[in-house]
Structure 1
Amino acid sequence: MRRFYVFGFLLLMAFDTLAQLSFKLAGNHALPVAADLAWLLRVFGAPWIYGALVGYLGAFFTWMSLLKHAPIGPAFAASHLEVISVMLLSVWLFHEPLTVPRVLGAVAIVAGIVCLGLAESDEAEHATANGAGAGPG
């Protein structure tokens, strides 16, 4: 089951990262922004807008599959790992600065996921030790 989680969350992160970076690339391609038909044609003429669509659809179906099995707390937190991957790839692709607040934010995200994962595993161990499935009174 652990392999399912690891593969699933890596796939979710990949789809979410594809969607976010594709939107950024499509937006750059469609500049300058204007509320007219020419702008819409630039947006939908950019191949990256379709990468964003594939990313969002892939992320949705991956997320739905993960929710069937994963504990919701750690799963929800881990689903935000794309924030870190997008930040790191944006440094490389878009020459965005990697600042101390961004790095601290990434560390906080990872720390939160680790804490939720540990809490969930402690809870599962406690439930196993006390007889899983035994309800109150």
Structure 2
Amino acid sequence: MKRFYLLGFLLLMAFDTLAQISFKYAGTQALPVEASLAWLLRVFGQPWVYGAVIGYVGAFFTWMALLKHAPIGPAFAASHLEVVSVMLLSIWLFDEQLTLARALGALAIIGGIVCLGLAESREHAAEADADPALG
């Protein structure tokens, strides 16, 4: 089951990251913004728009599969790891700066996920000790 969680959350993070990076690329190609049919055609002519759609659809179905089995607290927290992956990829792809605030925020997200995961593991272990049929 741990392999399922690991692969599931990696897939979820990949889909979410694809969606966010695709939106960033599509946004750079959409400038200047205009209220015209030509602008809409230019936006929907960008492959990045479809990358975002694929990312969101993939993330939705991956998330639904994970929710059938994963504990909701750690699952919800881990689903936000794409904030960190998008930040790191944006440094490379969009020449964004890694500031102290961003680095501390990323560490806080990762630390929170680790804390929730450890708490869930301890709770599961305590339940298994109390009821040997669960372990």
User: TM > 0.5 between the two?
Assistant: yes
User: Unaligned regions of 5+ residues in structure 1, if any?
Assistant: none
Aligned residues: 134
Q: Which residue of 2 aligns with 1:102?
A: 102
Pairing of 1:1-137 with structure 2 (within 5 A): 1-131=1-131
C-alpha distance 89-128 of structure 1, shift in aligned 2 (>3 A): same
Q: Give the residue type in structure 2 aligned to 1:14.
A: A
Deviations 1:72-125 (A, max 9, x none): 000000000000000000000000000000000000000000000011011101
Between 53-62 and 28-37, report the one with greater CA deviation: 28-37
CA–CA distance in 1 between the matches of 2:132 and 2:33?
A: 57
Q: Alpha carbon RMSD of aligned pairs, Å?
A: 1.3
TM-score (norm. length: structure 2): 0.96
> Identity percentage over the alignment?
72
TM-score (norm. length: structure 1): 0.95
User: Unaligned regions of 5+ residues in structure 2, if any?
Assistant: none
CA–CA distance in 2 between the matches of 1:133 and 1:76?
A: 27
